[in-house]
Chain A
């Protein structure tokens, strides 16, 4: 039995159209973040004023943030697993934990941006600053959207007003969340760990 039939969705391809659409969306997101990462790589050494990357990056702090986001991927996959087993309480619990870990990551990013600004790196201080804030800011917005979706899902589950199969809805948001995580895996290495 194919996935789509098992989940109650008829399609001419035999697979879920919703899932196919989500993967196509994530494929297109690769192009968006590819552009932002490439622009940063090109401009990261262009510092005419303000601090250089090595002067402001706090690797231990960002490492902890990265670890938090990585662990949120684990809690998200546990939520998907619980949803497939129809374990509603566990699903809600893991979704809430994932949202909290995501909020911790975003909180860390806000703290980092504030610290960088206080050290003299504004958005228009240098090409490095502009490309850095644009790249990491876009990622932060994606995480924030993910948190909103997770909390909305928890709220909807409590009212039991889930359109379609519950497990598939959790899985789609899970795919988005993991994508945000893999983008950070790349940003963490290319932006923070490789020196200019």
Chain B
């Protein structure tokens, strides 16, 4: 009985130290849903010159929130962050160069 209680407490502590509480995850999901609604609103509301930067910023914020909180990268070993962001930065760099070769950014 004592062992069971200790085991349960240990696993619960591990879960808390591993990330956030369930309420925290629900809060993050609510923020993500709100940002998605704001993204969709840009199709119907004229944001003028802010349209493209606003969309890209909202996309980046959603991306970082999912990676940091849902994928626990914010709380995990920094080596995991390096593995993932190295691939991501390499991909962005390689394909930005690829698109620049085809004059994509000056169309």
User: What is A's interface to B at a CB cutoff of 8 Å?
Assistant: 2-3, 6, 13, 15, 19-20, 23-24, 26-31, 33-35, 37-38, 41-42, 59-60, 63, 66-67, 70-71, 73-74, 76-78, 80-81, 84-86, 174-175, 178-179, 181-182, 185-186, 188-190, 193-194
Q: Which of B35-49 contact A (CB under 8 A)?
A: 36, 39-40, 42-43
A153-B43 Cα distance, complex, nearest whole Å: 39
Contact of B80 among A23, A71, A188 (CB under 8 A): A23
Which secondary structure characterizes the binding site on chain B?
helix
Q: Verify B79–A34 contact, CB threshold 8 A.
A: no
Q: Verify A175–B26 contact, CB threshold 8 A.
A: no
A59-B42 Cα distance, complex, nearest whole Å: 11
Q: Verify A31–B102 contact, CB threshold 8 A.
A: no
Contact of B32 among A19, A35, A70, A86 (CB under 8 A): A70
What would be 11 A-B contacts, judged by CB atoms less than 8 Å apart? A13-B79, A20-B83, A34-B94, A37-B95, A66-B36, A70-B29, A81-B15, A86-B8, A86-B11, A181-B66, A190-B59
Determine the chain B residues whose CB is within 8 A of the CB of A76 once the complex forms.
70
Given contacts A34-B92, A86-B11, 7 further A-B contacts (CB under 8 A): A27-B88, A27-B90, A35-B95, A71-B33, A84-B18, A182-B63, A186-B63
Contact A19 to B80, CB < 8 A, known contacts A31-B91, A31-B94, A185-B59:
yes
Contact A6 to B14, CB < 8 A, known contacts A59-B40, A70-B29, A185-B59:
yes
Q: Verify A194–B55 contact, CB threshold 8 A.
A: yes
Q: Verify B12–A85 contact, CB threshold 8 A.
A: yes
A143-B95 Cα distance, complex, nearest whole Å: 24
Contact A193 to B39, CB < 8 A, known contacts A26-B84, A35-B95, A70-B32:
yes
Interface string of B52-84 (1 = CB under 8 A from A): 100110110011001101110000110110011
Q: Verify B67–A23 contact, CB threshold 8 A.
A: no
- The count of A-to-B residue pairs whose CB atoms sit within 8 angstroms is 135
Contact A189 to B59, CB < 8 A, known contacts A19-B80, A27-B86, A76-B70:
yes
A64-B75 Cα distance, complex, nearest whole Å: 30
Contact A73 to B18, CB < 8 A, known contacts A31-B91, A189-B59, A193-B39:
no
Q: Verify A178–B70 contact, CB threshold 8 A.
A: yes
B19 to chain A, nearest CB (A): 7
